[in-house]
A = this chain, B = another copy of it.
Amino acid sequence: MKIYDIEGFPNPLRVRIALAEKGAMDKVEFIPIDVMGGEHRSNAFTAKNPDATVPLLELDDGTCIAQCNAITEYIDGVFDGPSLTGTTPKERACIAMMNLRAENGLMNAVGAYFHHATPGLGADLETWQCAEWGNKQKEVANTTMAYFNSVLENNEFLAGDSFSIADITAFAGLVFADFAKVDIPESLSNLQAWRAKVAVRPSIVG
């Protein structure tokens, strides 16, 4: 299978962490996409992924899977190792809920701030911006950080006692927050401690 992505970007990071958690980084051929040059919006790429986003997973039969959550669902299902998406219906539901909160409230909120209320990836790529929306989403990201801090008062990880896709999404969201200069308050000590713990996982330090 192939993954089209660009190293160092926040959404590609999510799938790379998931693959590393499953010990499967060497099972995938990575194909770099020149996002800064707009390759993700080319006809050749949008024929595979109409979302015009990376990462994109292409299976050996030609099936293309876009969206980090969908790609991680596949990775989690086909490779061995601890489950990232849960096994019982209750686990799966709790992880899905927290992952959505991490995606919408942190990753995508930081992304909206970055792409709409800052120069983002530059004028050639940021063809439509709405600064008012972007700035509001920065507030959403800060609210989500405070909420996660409260969750981590009692939980070791965001969806309970086990590391999951929700932790991956939130961790990548904080990496993006650093890059976009969205402050992560020092006062959120549970979040800071969780981040430090996740940052030293073998899937992340490599």
Distance in Å: Cβ of A125 to nearest Cβ of chain B: 16
B65 in contact with A97 (CB, 8 Å): yes
Q: A84 → chain B, closest Cβ, in Å?
A: 12
Q: Report the nearest B residue to A68, measured CB to CB.
A: B100
Interface string of A51-93 (1 = CB under 8 A from B): 1000001010001011101110110111000000000111011
Among A65, A73, A100, find the residue whose CB has the most chain B CB atoms closer than 10 A: A73
Chain A interface SS verdict (over half):
helix
Having A65-B97, A73-B93, A130-B132, one finds 14 other A-B pairs with CB under 8 Å, namely: A59-B90, A65-B93, A67-B96, A67-B101, A70-B94, A70-B96, A73-B96, A74-B89, A74-B90, A76-B89, A77-B89, A78-B89, A130-B133, A130-B136
A-B contact pairs, 15 of them (CB 8 A): A67-B96, A67-B101, A69-B100, A70-B93, A71-B93, A73-B89, A73-B92, A77-B88, A77-B93, A78-B89, A130-B130, A130-B132, A130-B136, A132-B132, A133-B133
Contacts of A136 in B (CB 8 A): 128, 130
Classify chain A's interface size.
20 to 34
